[in-house]
Amino acid sequence: MKAIVYHNYGSPDVLRLEELPKPKPRDNEVLVKIAAASVAAGDWHLLRAEPFIARFMSGLLRPKYKILGADVAGWVEAVGRNVKQFQPGDAVYGDLSACGFGGFAEYVAAPEGALAPKPARLTFEEAAAVPVSAMTALQGLRDHGKLQPGQKVLINGASGGVGAFAVQIAKALGGEVTAVCSTGKMEMARALGADHVVDYTKENFTEMGQRYDLILAVNGYHPIWAYRRALSPQGVYVMCGGANAQMFQAILLGPLLSRRGGRKLGHMLATPNQQDLGVLSQLIDAGKITPVIDRCYPLHQVAEAIRYVETGHARGKVVITVAPQHNNSPTIGNTGE
């Protein structure tokens, strides 16, 4: 199979298109023929090993996982002997970030618990855009932010991969949503359902006097004490992306600042799980969230796709089309038993 591989940390220049053996599923695994994958911020963080602390999870000197890509959508080609939920021919999607990545390839073997049935109303490209970003938004708002109907929620970085889903999910949860983005993306934020839009190139929401019950920081940078100033007395600030300084402030200063008064400040990492993939599928089937795709790249242009995501200018998600013929189901091989 063809795969995009890297053997050393560095810029996208270190990525290589290589021919590798097709993986064989273990007893609890599913072999997926990948139709599409998508690029997340985590891909370039792992590629460059930035921040340096990432090396303690991905390999101190060289990357532990040679193939990046957590979001996948495709067809089940074979299953291990203990797999109960899927059979060859099923259309699936999932998040591989907890089981070794591997999405930038023609095939991947993954635990069945990392996958869920693909929402029928989505194309494979659209489905591949969902898992990591939408699950981050869902868990940030629902679990860490404890968003309740009628509360005021601000999404900083509302037009990127996570942010576009966060606006829609916050509305689905009953929030009054303020989206922060650049001038050219304001109409997109309104179309996604934002009640209010702030153009960060013209206004600083932390200095506008408005207070929010929940701030989800996806991108952009403000000092943590500025976020605290923009919270209501019992408000919650959740950092799930942004500059390195913002990350370290949330990790180191968040717990200290949370001791002073009712405001809570901290960070989050999404926890991939099949149950939340099911929740996202329900929201998709109900028409409450729709993936936003900026552009698609073929597999051999993963490096270019990552470079584009690194600029921070993408509207929604950047998708990798792996199997262009995916409108028709491929020939299914033997099971992995």
- Could you report the per-residue pLDDT of 38-67, keeping only the tens digit for each? 999 889 889 988 877 667 677 788 898 899
Q: Does 161 have pLDDT greater than 70?
A: yes
Domain annotation covers residue 282 = no
Peptide bond just before 51 cis, omega within 30 deg: yes
Question: What does the alpha-carbon distance between residue 76 and residue 90 come to, in Å, rounded to a whole number?
Answer: 5
Q: What is the DSSP string of 270-300?
A: ----HHHHHHHHHHHHTTS----EEEEEEGG
Q: Are residues 239 and 144 in the same domain?
A: yes
Q: Are residues 41 and 146 in the same domain?
A: no
Q: Are residues 87 and 173 in the same domain?
A: no
For the chain, the domain total comes to 2
Tokens 């795709």, located at residue? 293
Residue-number span of the structural domain to which 231 is assigned: 132-267
- Can you give the pLDDT at residue 57? 72
Q: What is the CATH number of the domain that holds 139?
A: 3.40.50.720
CB 237 within 8 A of CB 227: yes
Q: Are residues 27 and 39 in the same domain?
A: yes
Average pLDDT over residues 203-232: 94
Q: Are residues 108 and 139 in the same domain?
A: no
Question: What does the alpha-carbon distance between residue 189 and residue 199 come to, in Å, rounded to a whole number?
Answer: 11
Q: Are residues 223 and 302 in the same domain?
A: no
Q: What is the CATH number of the domain that holds 50?
A: 3.90.180.10
Question: What does the alpha-carbon distance between residue 315 and residue 192 come to, in Å, rounded to a whole number?
Answer: 12
Question: Which percentage of the chain shows pLDDT scores above 70?
Answer: 95
Question: What does the alpha-carbon distance between residue 106 and residue 310 come to, in Å, rounded to a whole number?
Answer: 24
Q: Are residues 261 and 305 in the same domain?
A: no
Q: What value does the mean pLDDT of the chain take? A: 92
Q: Are residues 215 and 301 in the same domain?
A: no
Give pLDDT tens digits for 252-292. 888 888 987 799 999 999 999 999 999 999 999 999 999 99
Domain annotation covers residue 43 = yes
Q: What is this structure's pTM?
A: 0.92
Q: Secondary structure of the chain: what % helix, strand, coil (to 5)?
A: 30, 25, 40
Question: What does the alpha-carbon distance between residue 17 and residue 240 come to, in Å, rounded to a whole number?
Answer: 31
**β pairing state of 91-95 and 71-79:** antiparallel
Q: Does 306 have pLDDT greater than 80?
A: yes
Over the range 107-134, which residues count as b (16 or more CB within 10 Å of their CB) and which as e?
bbbbbbbbbbbbbeebbbbbbbbbbbbb
Q: In sequence order, which residues have a C-beta less than 8 Å from that of residue 113 and are 6 or more positions away?
A: 273, 274
Q: Does 332 have pLDDT greater than 70?
A: no
Domain annotation covers residue 335 = no
28: DSSP letter: T
128: DSSP letter: H
Among 228, 251, 267, which residue terminates a domain?
Answer: 267
Q: Are residues 50 and 108 in the same domain?
A: yes
